[in-house]
Each structure stands twice: as C-alpha cells, then as structure tokens.
Amino acid sequence: MGPAVINLRMHPAARGSEAAVLGGERMIETTTIRDDQGVLLVSTAEVATTRSSAYADLLAELLGRKVPVEPLPGGYRLDFGIGEGLLNFGPESLSLLVTADDGASLSNLRDALAVHLERLGHRDKLRVVWR
C-alpha cells in the first residue's frame, strides 16, 4: 500500500484553488496558492528517512502539547493559529508543507518545524531544506 495523499483542498483557505498534492506524484512547484480571499503562502520540504511515520508521530506529539493536531490518513494537520502545517509520511521520506497568510508567519512556522524535527532526528542526521 502506497503513502496516503494529503490534498490541500482539506485546508479551508485553499478552497477554489487548483489541487495540490503533498506526498503523491505531484509536488507544489509554486510558493503561493490563490483562493477566493487572497493569497496563501506555501513552503514545502521533503526529508529523506525510512522512519518517516515515527518522526511524524513524534513531531505531532511534541507540537500537540501547544497546538491542535488533527490525525489524517498518512499524516497530521497542525493548526498554529498563524498558519498550518501538514506532515505526510511515505516509505522513504517525510513531506512537510506549511501555509500562512504572510511571510513572517511562514518563516516562523518553517523554523519551528525544522528545529523540532532536526532535534528529534539528530541521530539520523535529519535536515530540513525548504523550497
């Protein structure tokens, strides 16, 4: 069974945008999604690891102490208030996607996810490189 696909249409602000798939065959190539209320900034990262499910679980558990976490098929949705994060685990990588309404919020979310994941995965030398 292949990795589950998280579709951005699950994000309320992405309604009306073209479908963008995380963890499937197609990745978001752009940094913005236009919706009926304006522009939503997007950033993605693909972290190579065969333990993606374990790292997604650990990251969701850790961040779930501070923010609401919603389990999804093949991953998690994290609601930071200033934006959202999607974690999607596959057999060879953990896909991260963050969305926010402004650049400062997007940067903060990217930093938070990267710092925590790299700290959790220090033994496996995980590195998050955002696109």
Q: Which residue has the higher pLDDT, 28 or 77?
A: 77
Q: Is residue 53 part of a domain?
A: yes
Q: Is residue 14 part of a domain?
A: no
Beta carbons within 10 angstroms of residue 68's beta carbon = 12
- 3-class secondary structure, 55: helix
Question: Residue 15 has what pLDDT?
Answer: 34
Question: Residue 31 has what pLDDT?
Answer: 54
For every residue of 84-127, DSSP letters joined together read EEEEEE-SSEEEEEEEESSHHHHHHHHHHHHHHHHHHTTTTT--
Q: Is residue 64 part of a domain?
A: yes
Number of domains, the chain: 1
Q: Is residue 55 part of a domain?
A: yes
CATH of the domain at 76: 3.30.310.50
Residue 88 has pLDDT above 90, yes or no: yes
The pLDDT tens digits of the residues spanning 95-108 come to 999 999 888 999 99
Q: Is residue 2 part of a domain?
A: no
Q: What is the DSSP letter of 58?
A: H
What is the domain extent for residue 47?
27-120
The pLDDT tens digits of the residues spanning 15-70 come to 333 334 343 333 333 355 555 667 789 999 999 999 999 999 999 999 999 999 99
Q: Is residue 1 part of a domain?
A: no
Residue 90 pLDDT level (bands cut at 50, 70, 90)? very high
